[in-house]
Amino acid sequence: MAKQIPENSVGIVRPVCLHFDEPLPLRSGKVIESYDLMVETYGELNDDKSNAILICHALSGDHHAAGYHDPDDEDEKPGWWETCIGPGKPIDSNRFFIVSLNNLGGCAGSTGPESTNPATGKPYGPDFPIVTVRDWVNSQARLADHLGIEQWAAVIGGSLGGMQVMRWAISYPERLRHAVVIAAAPKLSAQNIAFNEVARQSITADPDFHQGHYYEHGTYPKKGLTLARMIGHITYLSENALRGKFGKSSLKGENFGRDLRTGKLNFDFGVDFEVESYLQYKGEAFSSNFDANTYLLITKTLDYFDPAVDYEGDLSKAFEKGSCKFLVISFSSDWRFPPERSREIVNTLLKAKRQVSYLEVESDGGHDAFLLSEPRYLNGLTAYLSVVANESAGTRGADHAS
Amino acid sequence: MAKQIPENSVGIVRPVCLHFDEPLPLRSGKVIESYDLMVETYGELNDDKSNAILICHALSGDHHAAGYHDPDDEDEKPGWWETCIGPGKPIDSNRFFIVSLNNLGGCAGSTGPESTNPATGKPYGPDFPIVTVRDWVNSQARLADHLGIEQWAAVIGGSLGGMQVMRWAISYPERLRHAVVIAAAPKLSAQNIAFNEVARQSITADPDFHQGHYYEHGTYPKKGLTLARMIGHITYLSENALRGKFGKSSLKGENFGRDLRTGKLNFDFGVDFEVESYLQYKGEAFSSNFDANTYLLITKTLDYFDPAVDYEGDLSKAFEKGSCKFLVISFSSDWRFPPERSREIVNTLLKAKRQVSYLEVESDGGHDAFLLSEPRYLNGLTAYLSVVANESAGTRGADHAS
């Protein structure tokens, strides 16, 4: 029996693997001679190719942002941004042609550490070059070329995805009309970097890591990656969300999220509290589906992002070119990239005399709120993108078409 | 050449090891048949024994709170609370008899996982029973008995030390006149527990851990403990402190604490940012001087602390007995136990109709601010404890003496 797919889903989708033969020079000075990108698209490109939206994924995301792959698997979960992408949803597949890719260095089919290094005939492993957000955006621009898209109606992303959006506005200011930057920051702070470094060391300390050559050893640093993800996961969730999720049995007074796994303390070093069990579960589930070398690489990509560096630290100078409009969104309980960091982006854009809208959403969802069904967030995004869709309809055959 | 010791230090001190033969029943149901406590004292006990102060240490502390051990070692650092304890300092050794101990389960000489288990003739290791704050306070009460101190002028502690202070006020309400609770919380939240659990798993995942029996294997889970401490250390420091400490080379605009170790990005998986190097250094230094089993144990002690549990979740009921006065202190940038948590303690005490003073100190020092020379903090503590010292002088030979 085929599974029931909600009407407001893009439904069954098929990723495609696109091969690029032109060498890609990287920020590090290295060059990737050729590479594959895994891509999904939702909706139809209009005649003048003015309704295309690029989705940029965050650390753990990939090309599968919406819909389902298997018509028969009733347990299959939809793509990672199913809340936002689909017919009638904020990023409306009835009105937009939506492009989502797995970035270079990823582990969902695009060229990355698991791929064969043509120089050795073995997997790249730790020798896969560190790619930056700028490198990704360059590869995405080539993807746009391939698809015949001269200018995106919008480039949209949350967290690390939002950093790619900013880089698009800096590197290719004429190639997007709208930049939607969600739950992001102008660059990582020392504390952000510190968490990433501990996560990396958790992986590299795992005896099954073998300096990143675990593929050849037939091992996998599952425990290290589980730990890394547990650390990350704590920073994605708000204190209040944890209290709410694990404070069901609380008595009078404040709820601290101290629900016990077996109803009592065990006085050993096993699991006592539900939150411990939950984190363990989340970490293990993640580590079953993600490559540890990719995790190392993408945390470095995050750490390295700092577009102000080429402008003597003045990010506003980076944003002086181009005419795209910005929507910046933050969430009150996000302590990884708090609203203050989004306001820094907004103030920088204002200093650069750019047009920017800003939405600060009250939410207990923490950093991960950008993936959740927060009504004010979804409504704000819907309202903004409706205007964008109307523009695209109005530009049919106009100057914007390539 | 003997080293120069500052005049406001207690100078050279000698710890003593006190043996207790009476079995100590624990919260877990287990019993420690006999045990040692390492103790230091500073200042002189007055005739009526009314000027004694107990210092309770936090996760990484021990009995060596002030002064120096070695008259010849010019590089020796003083005790962990040298900022607060000494002649003329807030906890004034000219006026008080100050008692500091290494708690049970510790690794600085008191009975703990490194000690020989009389049942096996081998080190306890992971079989050392999990002790709770209540158990500690019971052992501290026996220490008070041993010293002939019927009632402390004050019991003082920061962080986990502050939890011991609260437990004193609950378990032995008549045995202290003042309770000074600094940078603490009524209990850990789910987020606090989550960080502790990741730290524990970092240790237990180390191949040198051997289920805690590393003493017998001639190994030591140094890497795991280093990682655990790195995680902890991030939570002890404020975002702003990190930005200040590692943002010396910042250009225009905001300072994010992104100083580079070698002045450039290295595009490999080694250290790029100063903050990474600093955390690594701090973690390694700590792991050279601390026992991994004790770290596991004390994080559980932290997780388990919840004195409201015996009062249907209403902590104010726990505080209804006794007449000691409270001073509660918090620090603005402490995100481990933020001021909000201290205000919860204050409100609970007010509900219990207890006399409480509250000082919220503006500081960038994060959770560790309680160990730092924050003038408003030290001045507030000095003012409060001056009154306590005057009381002690006034009670000479009065009812309070045992």
pLDDT in tens, B102-150: 999 999 999 999 999 988 999 999 999 999 999 999 999 999 999 999 9
Residue A400 has pLDDT above 50, yes or no: no
Query: CB within 8 A of A359, min separation 6: which ones?
Result: A327, A328, A329, A330, A376, A377, A380
Tokens (6 digits) for A130 = 């560190």
- The C-alpha atoms of residue A201 and residue A376 are separated, in whole angstroms, by 38
Quick one: pLDDT band at residue A3, thresholds 50, 70, 90? confident
User: A341 near A184, Cβ under 8 Å?
Assistant: yes
Q: Helices marked H in B273-360 — which ranges?
A: 274-287, 292-304, 315-318, 339-351
Query: Do residue A84 and residue A207 come from a single domain?
Result: no
Tokens (6 digits) for B14 = 């000698």
Is the residue at A135 inside a domain? yes
Q: Are strands B24-25 and B16-20 parallel, antiparallel or unpaired?
A: unpaired
User: A53 near A97, Cβ under 8 Å?
Assistant: yes
Once rounded to an integer, what is the mean pLDDT over residues A52-78? 96
Quick one: pLDDT band at residue B392, thresholds 50, 70, 90? confident
By CB atoms closer than 10 A (0-12, 13-18, 19+), residue A113 is: buried
Closest CB from A227, A257, A279 relative to B202: A227
How many structural domains is chain A composed of?
2
Of A395-399, B6-10, B146-150, B191-195, least confident by mean pLDDT is A395-399
- The C-alpha atoms of residue A133 and residue A28 are separated, in whole angstroms, by 12
Quick one: pLDDT band at residue B266, thresholds 50, 70, 90? very high
Residue A4 has pLDDT above 60, yes or no: yes
User: B258 near B247, Cβ under 8 Å?
Assistant: yes
**pLDDT at B291 (0 to 100):** 98
Q: Which residues on B lie below 8 Å from A306 (Cβ)?
A: 258
**pLDDT at A382 (0 to 100):** 98
- The C-alpha atoms of residue A239 and residue A236 are separated, in whole angstroms, by 10
CB-based contact A189 B300, cutoff 8 Å: no
**pLDDT at A99 (0 to 100):** 98
Quick one: pLDDT band at residue B393, thresholds 50, 70, 90? confident
Looking at A251, A267, A294, the residue that finishes a domain is A294
Mark whether B367 is an active-site residue: yes
**Structure confidence by residue, pLDDT tens digits, A198-227:** 999 999 999 999 999 999 999 999 999 999
Specify the 3-state DSSP secondary structure of B97: strand
Is the residue at B1 inside a domain? no
Looking at A240, A266, A294, the residue that finishes a domain is A294
Closest alpha carbon within chain B to A246: B190
Query: Do residue B204 and residue B323 come from a single domain?
Result: no
Mark whether A159 is an active-site residue: yes
CB-based contact A253 B279, cutoff 8 Å: no
CA of B15, closest CA in chain A: separation in Å? 31
User: B205 near B354, Cβ under 8 Å?
Assistant: no
The interaxial angle of helices A292-304 and A133-147, nearest 10 deg, is 100
**Structure confidence by residue, pLDDT tens digits, A93-113:** 999 999 999 999 999 999 999
Closest alpha carbon within chain B to A228: B198
- The C-alpha atoms of residue A288 and residue A388 are separated, in whole angstroms, by 39
Query: Do residue B178 and residue B200 come from a single domain?
Result: no
Tokens (6 digits) for B57 = 């240490």
- Report percent pLDDT > 70 for chain B: 96
Of A19-23, B150-154, B242-246, least confident by mean pLDDT is B242-246
Quick one: pLDDT band at residue A1, thresholds 50, 70, 90? low
CB-based contact B189 A300, cutoff 8 Å: no
* Cβ under 8 Å to B: A residues 34-93: none
How many CB pairs lie under 8 A apart between chains A and B?
187
CB-based contact B313 A256, cutoff 8 Å: no
DSSP classification of residue B361: E
Domain region containing B367: 16-187+311-394
Closest CB from A202, A237, A269 relative to B296: A269
Once rounded to an integer, what is the mean pLDDT over residues A299-309? 97
**Structure confidence by residue, pLDDT tens digits, B9-31:** 999 999 999 999 999 999 999 99
DSSP classification of residue B7: T
Is the residue at A141 inside a domain? yes
CA of A163: how far to CAs of A159, A231, B254, in Å?
A: 7, 21, 17
- The C-alpha atoms of residue B54 and residue B151 are separated, in whole angstroms, by 10
Closest CB from A30, A272, A314 relative to B303: A272
By CB atoms closer than 10 A (0-12, 13-18, 19+), residue B288 is: exposed
**pLDDT at A392 (0 to 100):** 84
**Structure confidence by residue, pLDDT tens digits, A264-291:** 999 999 999 999 999 999 999 999 999 9
Of A159, A287, A330, A392, the active-site residue reads A159
Closest CB from B28, B187, B267 relative to A258: B187
Q: What are phi and psi of A293, to 5 degrees?
A: -65, -35
Is the residue at B231 inside a domain? yes
Find, among B267, B304, B29, the residue nearest to B192 by Cα. B304
Find, among B161, B151, B195, B191, the residue nearest to B50 by Cα. B151
Is the residue at B402 inside a domain? no
- The C-alpha atoms of residue A297 and residue A113 are separated, in whole angstroms, by 9
Strand residue runs (E) in A160-316: 178-182
Tokens (6 digits) for A49 = 């190719």
Query: Do residue A51 and residue A151 come from a single domain?
Result: yes
Quick one: pLDDT band at residue A150, thresholds 50, 70, 90? very high
Averaged confidence pLDDT in chain B: 94
* CATH number of the CATH domain containing A276: 1.10.1740.110
Query: Do residue B319 and residue B204 come from a single domain?
Result: no
Find, among A265, A279, A255, the residue nearest to B300 by Cα. A265
Is the residue at B4 inside a domain? no
**Structure confidence by residue, pLDDT tens digits, B70-114:** 999 999 999 999 999 999 999 999 999 999 999 999 999 999 999
Q: Cα A271 vs. chain centroid, distance in angstroms?
A: 31
* Cβ under 8 Å to B: A residues 95-124: none
User: B359 near B17, Cβ under 8 Å?
Assistant: no
**pLDDT at A26 (0 to 100):** 98
* CATH number of the CATH domain containing A132: 3.40.50.1820
Quick one: pLDDT band at residue B250, thresholds 50, 70, 90? low
Quick one: pLDDT band at residue B202, thresholds 50, 70, 90? very high
**B46-81 residues labelled b (16+ CB within 10 A) or e (exposed):** bebbbbbbbbbbbbbbbbbbbbbeeeeeeeeebbbb
**pLDDT at B3 (0 to 100):** 83
A275 touches chain B (CB under 8 A): yes
Find, among B315, B313, B312, B311, the residue nearest to B326 by Cα. B315
CB-based contact A190 B224, cutoff 8 Å: no
Tokens (6 digits) for B206 = 């180390």
Q: Are strands A154-158 and A178-182 parallel, antiparallel or unpaired?
A: parallel
B257 touches chain A (CB under 8 A): yes
Q: Which residues on B lie below 8 Å from A304 (Cβ)?
A: 265, 272
Tokens (6 digits) for A107 = 């582990």
Query: Do residue B324 and residue B272 come from a single domain?
Result: no
> What does the radius of gyration of chain B's CA atoms come to, in whole angstroms?
21
- Return the C-alpha torsion angle A34, A40, A43, A46, nearest 10: 0
A267 touches chain B (CB under 8 A): yes
Quick one: pLDDT band at residue B205, thresholds 50, 70, 90? very high
Q: Are strands B35-42 and B52-56 parallel, antiparallel or unpaired?
A: unpaired
Residue A402 has pLDDT above 70, yes or no: no
User: A175 near A199, Cβ under 8 Å?
Assistant: no
Closest CB from B202, B265, B304 relative to A265: B304
Residue A133 has pLDDT above 90, yes or no: yes
Closest CB from B28, B242, B269 relative to A296: B269
Residue A19 has pLDDT above 90, yes or no: yes
Once rounded to an integer, what is the mean pLDDT over residues A296-310? 97
Is the residue at A5 inside a domain? no
Looking at A250, A265, A294, the residue that finishes a domain is A294
CB-based contact B194 A300, cutoff 8 Å: no
User: A84 near A378, Cβ under 8 Å?
Assistant: yes
Is the residue at A69 inside a domain? yes
Query: Do residue A206 and residue A266 come from a single domain?
Result: yes
CB-based contact B227 A202, cutoff 8 Å: yes
Sign of the torsion formed by the C-alpha atoms of B143, B149, B151 and B154: negative
A207 touches chain B (CB under 8 A): yes
Once rounded to an integer, what is the mean pLDDT over residues B268-290? 95
Residue B394 has pLDDT above 70, yes or no: no
- The C-alpha atoms of residue A108 and residue A295 are separated, in whole angstroms, by 12
Give the H or E element holding residue A244. helix A239-245
Query: Do residue A388 and residue A326 come from a single domain?
Result: yes
User: A196 near A187, Cβ under 8 Å?
Assistant: no
DSSP, residue by residue, A77-138? ---TTTTTEETTSSEETTT-EEEEEPPTT-SSSSSSTTSB-TTTSSB-GGGSPPP-HHHHHH
CA of B189, closest CA in chain A: separation in Å? 5
CB-based contact A303 B197, cutoff 8 Å: no
Residue B259 has pLDDT above 70, yes or no: yes
**Apex A285 CA angle, A279 and A287, nearest 5:** 100
Q: What are phi and psi of B253, to 5 degrees?
A: 80, -160
Query: Do residue B144 and residue B203 come from a single domain?
Result: no
Residue A251 has pLDDT above 90, yes or no: no
Query: CB within 8 A of B337, min separation 6: which ones?
Result: B159, B183, B184, B185, B192, B330, B367
Q: What are phi and psi of A12, to 5 degrees?
A: -75, 130
User: A185 near A337, Cβ under 8 Å?
Assistant: yes
- Report percent pLDDT > 70 for chain A: 96
Query: Do residue B176 and residue B205 come from a single domain?
Result: no
A234 touches chain B (CB under 8 A): yes
Sign of the torsion formed by the C-alpha atoms of B360, B365, B367 and B369: negative
Of A312 and A28, the structure prediction assigns the larger pLDDT to: A28
Residue B55 has pLDDT above 80, yes or no: yes
A351 touches chain B (CB under 8 A): no
- The C-alpha atoms of residue A187 and residue A209 are separated, in whole angstroms, by 29
Q: Which residues on A lie below 8 Å from B243 (Cβ)?
A: 189-190
Of B110, B367, B368, B392, the active-site residue reads B367
* Cβ under 8 Å to A: B residues 151-170: none
- The C-alpha atoms of residue B347 and residue B91 are separated, in whole angstroms, by 26
Query: Do residue A115 and residue A234 come from a single domain?
Result: no
By CB atoms closer than 10 A (0-12, 13-18, 19+), residue A7 is: exposed
Query: Do residue B368 and residue B231 come from a single domain?
Result: no
